[in-house]
Structure 1
């Protein structure tokens, strides 16, 4: 059998037609969805890019691998120490290596390993095509490599191919000669004038006035990606830029489908469409970023067309992206690794069973330090470092009534916050117990991030913006009418700054 894994960076499920989006962003993906299973509640346990893809191929939570950050110690795997053999855990126990054991030729078209110096990402791959622009490449750079690979290999058997597309990732960069087919289509209904105005008052990197992270300057090389989203016109530019990226990738997927059909192997190819994380497009006041441990950032699409498997089925249960590794091994008759944290959902693919987990725990330590637990209709979020957004320590959202997370119910439901904290503590205890038995240390990398000055993209010490950059940002807040936010951030972080200076 052939396995094609299409990894669309920053792809939100709810901006695809098969997940109910009102714009025609994904006709090719939607057709594949009709021929397979659509998973409604799949999550990355660790966001964003580097932690998520590390978790995916290792089959393990970031708390176990140590990779939860974008810089500092927590951007690198934990040292295995004396327990390390001739090969490390990523190669010996990773998904790609297990496929090799089953005589699969493993191939990858992605620059990701170089983008984040994540060399463990390439472990177990026979063939690697680095498209060379570190994630800045658009589909017109990626697709010729894909087309050649398909021409050379599609008709062969027993291959696994991972393809990265980047166009929905910031900055939105679909070429200017591609027409914006969404310019006359309505924005998502929830993005009302009241929401846009409320977002204008929020503070922190990637908010309405500072989509560039700490400024609103924009970049002339990316005219589709504005520096600010402070009114309906600029918000439309953000949404259209993102949706154009989604459609641009979908057009490439249509070409791949034709390549597989031309080779006579489409029906015999397992096709998986997913992402590393989602994208905040106004939720929590953030635009064009994936920097929180919320449902918008951590929920990913998962669409699987399996030869001879279930068709036209939706799975409503909870899953992690790390569940893919044991699932593939069960489907292929391979060995499920004891070190993995994932659980197989193979019967959901072969028989259409609505099976899955009761809850999921999701984490973010690159832009903020947060952990959340998702169960039933609830999302409980605990913030350990707010990334200069002034998030409260606890938040609670009813995602059935409020899928875009506009109403924090924590003060109204302290009993549910206690339940959420209990669920988080239960998960954390299990992880620490496993670490004590199988790891080389008993360190939760979230606290490593805190100890090293906070998340890399909101750090006063070893990342962005630093002490001087923090004060420059405070001045920018004042200049954009957010004096109260600047005052609150100074009050909160001045003691830390004084400790750094002394």
Structure 2
């Protein structure tokens, strides 16, 4: 009898092990959603969107690669993981990050028995000599194929479990696709798995695969109402000349726009092949597939050239689609979500405990109510030595200005005091944004997105003082919050102040 009970115990545990879900996360680089960045993604929409949930209010904690990716991996706001920009001294794969790296969703799943795999871009400074070189394999990954440095399409080095491998002529997105398919084909039902694929597209230099070159030759940049306008009521960096951009820049914007779409076609093919491999290996029904990006992008809005780093919807709003066991199909979900929510969501869906230091909250994938949420967006401007071209007329102010090049008509894209924090406030009858800049003007901006989706009118000086005070107070508190409860409930709801 005792042997029989032991047999039941072990069989039940084996069955429970098999039922633990798998996870596939596909993370693109600089893919917008506001300017039509999902239009080329027919396979993503077919195999993930129509088979799952498309989140229409999905945001990132910071509109730049390294801080955003650090937030996604840890579930923490930027002020807590302290990766504030893309430089090593700004925490991008610096010593401080290596402490937080020990507790990502990957380390938690791996410790719980998951097999884990990563291929593609990680953090911008990963693998550089100053950060320890490609011999370093981040904790949490059973199989590691990490890109050394920032996104490129050719002439790159991958760390193959700590062994650097250089390639000149293999298109990186295709290599990541092949690695992903091969990984799935070699999995068995004896162990659940987590796979993250992080292709370079559509990041600069916008190099499409040869088979996709000129696929969108007739496509032009979106001429939204805020395209190439004089941004008179916005912070100083946007008011900086030239404004509007000269006509000579416009063909360049068209070329960038269509090239970005062309780079995404190889990602879309990768998604189809990954879904196909999951289906062939009989994993699809027990796998959550997540598609998202690390930040958005602007191309010509507010007379900026092409980049991110700004607090506007183009830069902070990203695609997020999730399909998986038990989820509704072909639905849109309006609940406000942040990329810090993905780590606790994956951990919870895996049936594991979420650490107390996680600032995000698990996405309620079965809830379609919008609810109410105040989301914090942080950006810490980065001045770069040598990034103000000598042909540009701007004085080099102690490294304050950054990315000022003749090909941008000398319109600078960043500065040290392009530093700000915003509250993105979404509820059933509220759709607002409040931003405070750490510049010489202590500039502030506020937009009613519901009535002004292109953020044309800064209403900060036209709202009740009590409303402005409430947003400033909640912003101050959120900049020091830690843990999901504190970051979710810094103040009473807005309606309670009247």
Q: TM-score, normalised by structure 1?
A: 0.70
Query: Quick one: distance in 1 between partners of 2:241 and 2:284?
Result: 44
Partners of 1:432 and 1:315 lie apart in 2 by 25
Residue 373 of structure 2 corresponds to: 358
> Equivalences for 1:477-496 in 2 at 5 Å?
none
Q: Does 1:95 align with 2:105?
A: yes
Q: CA shift at 1:303, angstroms?
A: 0.7
TM-superposed CA distance for 1:382, in Å, is: 1.0
Give the TM-score, by structure 2 length. Answer: 0.70
Distance of aligned partners of 1:249 and 1:341 in 2 relative to their CA distance in 1, 3 Å threshold: same
**CA deviation vs aligned residue, 1:182-216 (integer Å, no higher than 9, x gap):** 33346435158xx4363799985999979xxxxx9
Question: Could you give the per-residue CA deviations for residues 415-439 of structure 1, whole angstroms, max 9, x where no partner exists?
Answer: 343332122123235359999xxxx
Secondary structure (helix, strand or coil) at the match of 1:122 reads coil
Alignment of 1:375-454 (within 5 A): 375=425, 376-385=430-439, 393-413=443-463, 415=465, 416-431=467-482
* Offset at residue 152 of structure 1 (A): 4.2
Aligned to 1:13: 33
Q: CA 1:259 to 1:16, structure 2 compared with 1: closer, same or farther past 3 Å?
A: farther
- 2:33 and 2:146 map into 1 onto residues whose CA distance is 27
Runs of 4+, deviation exceeding 4 Å:
76-80, 116-121, 199-210, 228-232, 431-435
Partner of 2:173: 142
Q: CA deviation at 1:338?
A: 0.9
Query: Residues of 2 paired with 1:254 and 1:231: CA distance?
Result: 36
Structure ranking higher in helix proportion = 1
Quote the Cα distance in structure 1 between the aligned partners of 2:142 and 2:121.
15
2:72 match: 56
Q: Is the 8 A contact 1:3 1:269 kept in 2?
A: yes
Distance 1:45 1:359 in 2: 12
5 Å matches for 1:298-377? 298-345=316-363, 348-349=364-365, 351-354=366-369, 357-366=372-381, 367=414, 368-375=418-425, 376-377=430-431
Match of 2:117 in 1: 107
**Map of 1:164 onto structure 2:** 198
Aligned residue number for residue 456 of structure 1: none
Tell me if 1:4 matches 2:24: yes
**Which of 68-77 and 124-133 deviates more?**
68-77
Question: How many residue pairs align between the two structures?
Answer: 400
Query: Quick check: 1:15–1:243 contact (8 Å CA) kept in 2?
Result: no
Unaligned runs of 5+ in 1: 211-215, 217-227, 436-502
Change (3 A) 1:30 1:145: closer
* 2:206 and 2:259 in contact (8 A); partners too: yes
Specify the alignment match of 2:43 in structure 1: 28
CA RMSD of aligned residues (A): 3.7
8 Å Cα contact 2:60-2:338 kept in structure 1:
yes
- Give 1:237's match in structure 2, choosing from 242, 255, 258: 255
Distance 1:141 1:384 in 2: 38
Distance 2:483 2:193 in 1: 37
Measure, in 1, the Cα distance between the counterparts of 2:308 and 2:173: 23
Q: CA deviation at 1:279?
A: 0.6
User: Structure 2 regions of 5+ residues with no counterpart?
Assistant: 1-20, 155-169, 382-413, 487-498
Per-residue CA deviations over 1:203-240 (Å, capped at 9, x if unaligned) read 85999979xxxxx9xxxxxxxxxxx8755433322322
User: How far, CA to CA, are the matches of 2:216 and 2:236 in structure 1?
Assistant: 29
In structure 2, what is the equivalent of residue 129 of structure 1? 145
Any idea what the Cα deviations from partners look like across 1:349-375, whole Å, max 9, x if unmatched?
Answer: 2x3443565110101114421101111
Corresponding residue number in structure 2 for 1:461: none
Contact 2:63 2:316 in 1 (8 A): yes
